[in-house]
A and B are shown apart, each in its own frame.
Chain A
Amino acid sequence: MEYVLIIISAIFVNNIVLAKFLGICPFLGVSNKVETSIGMTGAVTFVMVIATIVTYLLQKYILDAFEIQFMQTITFIIVIASLVQMVEIILKKVSPSLYQALGIFLPLITTNCAVLGVAILTIQNEFNLMEGVVYAIANSIGFGLALIVFAGLREHMELMNVPKAMKGVPIAFIIAGMLAMAFMGFTGIA
């Protein structure tokens, strides 16, 4: 039951992009097309889940064990940066087509606040490893959901009559605000 709650909360009620404001840069940067959004979601899911596992183990067995919790920021980000680098190298060897498909998105994930944010939140929420993994997967789904819906909206906006001053970024923000408002409707669920 706990897991269902975590999943629904992460995807709908506390959507990582629309409610928590993590991952806004890719949200705006790649969401002008649905295909790029799908690619980004795949890459983020991959990195987020592995990063959550590794940082959880790091926190539990090294940071907490030696009482050096203040090192959390530094160690977590180094872990994430190295992970992304490793994932890039492995993917290039194991599945060059997938590597090509993800393209530029992979290195960009290092600076994605969503990955570091979820890693820190998993610790703050005091999840165990299994709950942490479920949380990470659910957050990636939430990220993907927000991204892909937004991309669809933006593709549609291209065909609309937008006042000149608002073309491009401003209208995207306002649409994002409305999307956030829509997601607020889920608040009562969890």
Chain B
Amino acid sequence: MDKIYLDHAAATPVNKAVIEAMLPYFDLHFANPSAVYDIGAEIKKVIDEHRERVGALIGAKAEEIIFTSSGAEANNLAIKGVVFAGQKKGNHIIISAIEHHSVLNSARFFERMDYEVTFLPVDEYGLVDPDGLKKAIRPETILVSIMHANNEIGSMQPITELSSICREKDVVFHTDAVATVGNIPVNVHELDVDLLSLSGPSLGAPKGTGALYFRKNLRLMPLIQGGIQENGRRGGTENVPGIVGLGKAAEIAAQELSHSENIKRVQQMRDRLVQGISANVDRIKYTGHPDRRLPGHASFCVEAIEGEALIFMLTGEGIYANTGSACASKALKTSPVLVAIGVPPGLAQGSIVFTISRGNRLNEIEVAIDTFSRAVKKLRALSPVWKGHRHL
């Protein structure tokens, strides 16, 4: 059975060209980049070349890029790095209520250490109100972190507005751009951010890669103390094949994103999916902002059924999607994002998220629509909550 993969927010296949670019760095060019001799210095050069490519994808200079193991590590480095460096005096941090766990828990880490954290609420579409940020900033605020887009509901934040408020008040602004880099053009100067996180798996690079952009002159305390790697900002022998992969993937992504038809095509597939599902399934809520959202992202809450069961019904027919349902999470807790946008807990259980990419085809979307409709029908037929078969 052919798989139809619609969960690109979770992982993307690595391009053959990327794999080919990486291979020589396992056994042919294997020296340690920090070695003083020629074969080491060569590798150092290769790393910096690929650093430039990652920078180029987001409009940054090579020396403004720190390679990390993941988007999560980049988020940790951004938040803990800024706070521990103490460039500005203060003890107040602001993040949105719908950040990724790596941002949420980094903020909570500081909350336990007598820092104050404000969790900015979002509206029913998941958007932060710039006025809300303005009001929340105080003299003691040292950092604001608000994600570029949220992978669960697809909504994109008004980053330029938010960052200009921070610029005005001299507060460092970080954005988690894991969901956007590689999917839409992202430019750190247009967004006017001080820090930006990106993740390799989101853009066709291997797992175990990521990067943090940081504006020059921003003081950052390293998370991983160690040697001289990454200019003293991140210790540990570099993941050379991974870095090469990330750089190559960034180069390919930049090329693909320069053709707007590529993004349009993804949007068309997403729009068709939404149209098809909405026409065939009733009592279903489209979550996130209808327009200000990632081009390939479609998320729903389906009444009267549970998300994990829906996912398994789909995978039984070779279709892969994601869910924010409580039963699907190890912690068995309702998705904080759905709670934050006001979805009632019962409805939040029926969460399903599709993330389409440039590699998908329109006929796959048609199959997905049909399979989805049948799966929902089957689950509703056995649900006591559907059509009020509640006896007591």
Real complex partners, A and B?
no
